[in-house]
């Protein structure tokens, strides 16, 4: 991926979604992008490893960006999520959301997030939580079905186990519905982001065209003014009042 233009993006953070990492974060001042992992680690991704066609979206703007402060916040999040003896965050997206929350709270960074990108991250975090729960439930369902089959073979009562399997299926269906709703939201937020950026680009282009039009009009007006200034004045305009005599009245004529 090519770096953002420095003059446009010095204090801007971006994100892109890759095959293995849904929310890769980077800024112009960093040599590497970062992506938080489910195992409570932070992956560093060199720019050269990010595909050129990866869609870059604006995450937000730092009005007083300092790389050390940014890294300090990331370190705080990592310390929060390791060595606690329990899962404080279930998914990589939830850890990423925690990181962004910490960035907001770090007043020295003066971060203002892009509303659609933040909404996308929130939806990713919710979806990932549902997905985690769904995977666990499916695993339990598989184990319960095995127990049910073994119980049937052994001639044991299976009514309660069958009911539990049915309940699990209902829960799985509900979770799939929740995930689909978040997918719809993510798609909507991405479309809103693209629409807003397109409108901003069109407005910027319109202002640029208007400025160029005004520049040309001013240039034409200035050329006309200079031409008028340098044009030889009419003879009458150069004559002193009372000193001019017709040629026929001049001496010696």
Question: Model confidence over 222-235: pLDDT tens digits?
Answer: 998 888 888 776 66
- DSSP-derived 3-state class of residue 61: strand
Total domains in the fold of the chain: 2
For residue 68, tell me if it sits in a domain.
yes
Q: Are residues 104 and 6 in the same domain?
A: yes
Which pLDDT value is given to residue 149? 80
> Which letter does DSSP use for residue 3 in this model?
P
- Kindly report the pTM of this predicted structure: 0.77
For residue 191, tell me if it sits in a domain.
yes
Q: Which residue has the tokens 């208007």?
A: 210
Higher pLDDT, 9 or 126: 126
In this prediction, residues 19-23 reach a mean pLDDT of: 90
Q: Are residues 78 and 177 in the same domain?
A: no
Which pLDDT value is given to residue 212? 94
Q: Which of 112, 114, 110, 6 is nearest to 66 (CA)?
A: 110
Q: Are residues 41 and 137 in the same domain?
A: no
Region class of 15: left (phi > 0), else alpha (psi between -120 and 50), else beta: beta
Q: Are residues 60 and 132 in the same domain?
A: no
9 — pLDDT class (breaks 50, 70, 90): very low
Examine the fold and report which residue of 61, 88, 113 is the final residue of a domain before the chain moves on.
Answer: 113
**What is the span of the domain harbouring residue 138?**
126-217
Chain segment 37-96, per-residue pLDDT in tens: 888 888 999 988 888 899 999 999 988 777 777 777 888 877 776 655 555 567 999 999
Q: Which of 90, 84, 85 is nearest to 130 (CA)?
A: 90
Q: Which of 36, 164, 153 is nearest to 98 (CA)?
A: 36
| 189: pLDDT strictly greater than 90 | yes
Examine the fold and report which residue of 78, 113, 148 is the final residue of a domain before the chain moves on.
Answer: 113
Q: Are residues 11 and 94 in the same domain?
A: yes
Q: Are residues 136 and 75 in the same domain?
A: no
The CA-atom distances, in angstroms, between 116 and each of 13, 16, 193 are 14, 13, 6
Q: Are residues 105 and 135 in the same domain?
A: no
Listed in sequence order, the residues at least 6 apart from 112 whose beta carbon sits closer than 8 Å to its beta carbon are 60, 61, 63
8 A C-beta contact, residue 33 and residue 26: yes
Average per-residue pLDDT in the chain? 83
The CA-atom distances, in angstroms, between 212 and each of 16, 140, 209 are 34, 66, 5
For residue 181, tell me if it sits in a domain.
yes
| 244: pLDDT strictly greater than 60 | no
For residue 249, tell me if it sits in a domain.
no
């Amino acid at each position: 991926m090519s770096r953002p233009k420095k003059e446009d993006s010095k204090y801007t953070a971006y994100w892109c979604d890759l095959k293995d990492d849904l929310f890769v974060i980077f800024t112009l001042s960093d040599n590497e992008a970062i992506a938080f992992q489910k195992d409570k680690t932070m992956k560093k991704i060199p720019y050269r490893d990010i595909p050129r066609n990866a869609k870059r979206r604006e995450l937000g703007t730092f009005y007083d960006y300092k790389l050390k402060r940014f890294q300090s916040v990331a370190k705080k999040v990592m310390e929060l999520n390791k060595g606690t003896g329990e899962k404080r965050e279930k998914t990589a997206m939830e850890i990423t959301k925690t990181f962004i929350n910490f960035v907001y709270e770090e007043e020295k960074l003066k971060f203002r997030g892009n509303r659609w990108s933040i909404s996308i991250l929130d939806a990713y975090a919710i979806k990932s939580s549902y997905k985690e729960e769904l995977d666990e439930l499916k695993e339990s369902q598989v184990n319960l079905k095995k127990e049910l089959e073994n119980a049937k073979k052994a001639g044991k009562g299976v009514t309660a186990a069958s009911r539990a399997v049915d309940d699990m299926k209902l829960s799985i269906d509900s979770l799939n519905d929740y995930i689909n709703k978040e997918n719809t939201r993510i798609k909507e937020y991405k479309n809103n982001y693209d629409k807003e950026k397109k409108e901003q680009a069109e407005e910027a282009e319109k202002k640029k065209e208007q400025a160029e039009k005004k520049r040309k009009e001013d240039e034409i007006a200035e050329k006309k003014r200079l031409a008028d200034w340098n044009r030889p004045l009419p003879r009458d305009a150069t004559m002193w009042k009372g000193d001019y005599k017709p040629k026929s009245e001049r001496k010696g004529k």
